[in-house]
Structures are given as C-alpha cells and as structure tokens.
Amino acid sequence: MVVGDFPIETDTLVIGAGPGGYVAAIRAAQLGQKVTVVEKGTLGGVCLNVGCIPSKALISAGHRYETAKHSEDMGIKADNVTVDFSKVQEFKAGVVKKLTGGVAGLLKGNKVDVVYGEAYFVDNETVKVMDETKSQTYKFKNVIIATGSRPVEIPVFKYSKRVIDSTGALNLQEIPKKLVVIGGGVIGIELGSVYANFGTEVTFIEAADDILAGFEKQMTSLVARGLKKKGVEIFTKASAKSVEESETGVKVTFEVKGEEKTIDADYLLVSVGRRPNTDELGLEQVGVEMTERGIIKIDKQCRTNVSNIYAIGDIVEGPQLAHKASYEGKIAAEAIAGEKAEIDYLGIPAVVFSEPELATVGYTEAQAKEEGLEVIAAKFPFAANGRALSLNDTDGFLKLITLKEDGLVIGAQIAGPSASDMISELSLAIEAGMTAEDIAMTIHAHPTLGEITMEAAEVAIGSPIHIVK
C-alpha cells in the first residue's frame, strides 16, 4: 500500500467499525466489492467496547452475586459472599477482548482492509484519513457512514472524575457506596441496576412521568417495583439542578414536586441520551442533508441525497440499537451491489436488561388502536408457567398483539426472565407474516419459558389451556 499524495482506490469505503460498519463491510466484501474500513478507535465501536457487551458482562456478574446471596427460598444459603470487583472488571475486559479480536478476524477473513484514523470528506468521491503522524487520501465509488453516537453532555453536569458517563460507569475500579443517576432510560436503568445488585445505594432522577419511556407502563412498573425492593430510590417528574464535586464525591441538587432536595454520593452518572457523531466529518463539503440534531436523512436503501453516500446506525432516524445498525449495514451494502433490499423496521425488537427483562417488537396495543386497527391483546403470565416457577422467577407476562380479523401477529411485549431471548420468535412471526394460530400449533418444548409464547397465542385464538378463559 502506497502512502502519500497519491489516493488509494477502493470500491466501498466504510467509516466506522462498530456493529453497523463492520457488518456492512463484511456484507459488501461478500458481494464482490473491494472494501476499506476506517476506524478512529477500536474495532467493534461503542457496542463491543464500552456499551452493549461490557454492560451485559457486569449485569451477569451482578446477577450471580445477588443469586448467591438470596436463594434461601430454594434451600440454598451462602454465608460471607464477597465481590472482588477487580476480578469482575477482568472478566468484563476478557469478554470484550474475545469479541473485538473476533471482529478483526472476520474482517481479515473477508479481505477487508482496515485503516485507523479520522476520516474527513474532501468531496463526494474522496476522503482524507488522518492519524497523529500522517494523512492519506482514499478515493471510493461508494461510502457508508457508520460513525455512531456519543453520550450527551449537559453543560451544568460536565464530565469529570466524579461526574461520569456510561463509559465511566462501566470502568469504575470500585463498587461505589452511593450512586446518583440522572436519566431513567435504558442505559441508566441497566447500569444503575448493576451497582444496586452489588450493594450500592442508587438514586434515579428522571424528568419524565416514568422510567423507561417508550415501554408500556405495566412493564416498567415491574422494573420500578424490583428496584425499590433493592432499596433504590426513584424520583420521576424531577429536575436535576446542579452538582458540587469534591475529591471524594458529589452533592447533587434536584427538584421534585416543587421541593428542592440534595443528595450526597460517590459518583453522579449522567445518562440522558446520545448524540450522532456527524459534526466532524466534513459533510458540509458534499452537501449531505441533515436535521438540526445532526441526524442524516436517508431513503429506504440507507442512501442519502448524495447518490453514492449511505448512512446507517445511530446517525440516522430511529432507535439507537446495535442490531438496527447491523441490519441497516446489510441493506446499504446490498443496495450498493444493485440488489432491491429496503429497510422495514416493524420486526426490529428493543430490549432492556433490567429486572425483569423487558422486550418489545412491532405494535403495542395502544399504538395499534391509535392507527385504527382492531386488535386482540392476548396476555399470559409467567406465574402460570412451569419453567418460570422452577426458576423461582415468576414476575411478568407476555402480551401478543394480533389483528382481530385474521389473527395476524403485529406486535408483542414481554416482561420477565429471558425476555431478551424470547422476543426473537415473535420478531420472526411478524417478519414471516404468521398468525396466532401458526404459533399455537407450533410444538414448544416442555418445560420452557418459550411455552409462554404458545400459551399467549392460544389465548389469542380463544382456546387457552393453562389459564381459565
């Protein structure tokens, strides 16, 4: 590879090697394109390095600790259960290392060139890639922008040693005695739950009417109830005002119901959303259309208004989900190859690794009715399932949303153990155009949590077995 003033040519350039970018690069290479990926950080992006994967490693460790301490109901009692948090962090780092190494192997195996540095558009066929010592120009036929997002920083709560973002929360070297979390969304709830399981006194300050906006109240109330059982305080309709920081902690001032309160803690985690990484790419050089929030506008093939420039993931409209980015990456690569692939988000699930886990796909009952659809909302409780009872984990339900006229499955919501795994069957049902009868007639292994899906389908068609009609 010649480095210097002469541009290096490639068919498809992918900017960003997160779950959107590296998947797009692999699919493009599989379709016969010469592909180059530009990454300014570490392969795997936020998700693999400081997001989805490390947070789930900590969540799993927290569950193990709490289970070891609280299994008396099953006749198991463990004394003097302790946590070596440095070992927990080592475990987390090991998981991340395996996956990022796996991504590197996959890119190499698909003959994708990987370049490290920051990309800046010169025109709609050229970018300049710069690192600390040099720059190199790349000329491309098509480009896929997959630069992801970063945590929103509130001016009053600037990140520091004690005021941390999600990355800081994942990398703490000790279990804090007290933690305040501003924001009761998915990231805040997951990370707050991690430390609550390890014994931290956690307080949530949420501006909205409820935690986990976007999920149904009957789902989020189960999570709130579980958190309160752990001693977690949740203030909703609350407004964070200021923070005073010292060497050893923070004092947070907030307002709720017209009353001003203060709370001391070791750390303040600010988790109020993420903003797209589109502001340092030089997109104004090529005239790519964006919203005021920096979101890139795309069509159904992830193509921008500039015909050879595509965008995917957190930098386009829609939920900021790793699996959405991967899905869009495949669509963009296939569109570049001339295939007729188009995005269709109805079957994309969303999951919260809370306690209990929450998962949703397609329409909720309320959304369906808002669109004038006549639906059946069929609900089955985990408490009536043999496997849930044997796990001693029965909080929750599965709700199946089907069209009244023909039983077509158009949505589902799950709150309960392994909801994150169970939702995939219902995503498939929506994608495949299945009906409640199709699911009800599918033999599910016994005893499993998966039977709950079948049982809810039987409720939908009016012939439930394990609850009274």
Q: Which residues are annotated as a binding site?
A: 56, 147-149, 183-190, 206, 273, 314
Burial class (CB in 10 A: 0-12, 13-18, 19+), 134: exposed
The structure tokens listed for 149 are: 């997002």
Rounded Cα–Cα distance for residues 366 and 217 (Å): 11
Cis peptide before 356 (omega within 30 of 0): yes
Instruction: For residues 302 and 299, give the distance between their C-alpha atoms in angstroms, rounded to a whole number.
Output: 5
**Cα 372 from Cα 375, distance rounded (Å):** 9
Question: How is 18-78 classified by DSSP, letter by letter?
Answer: STTHHHHHHHHHHTT--EEEEESS-TTHHHHHHSHHHHHHHHHHHHHHHHHHS-GGGT---
How many helices, marked H, and strands, marked E, lie in the chain? 13, 22
Helix (H) or strand (E) holding 428: helix 419-431
Active site residues: 446
Name the strand (E) or helix (H) holding 85.
helix 85-109
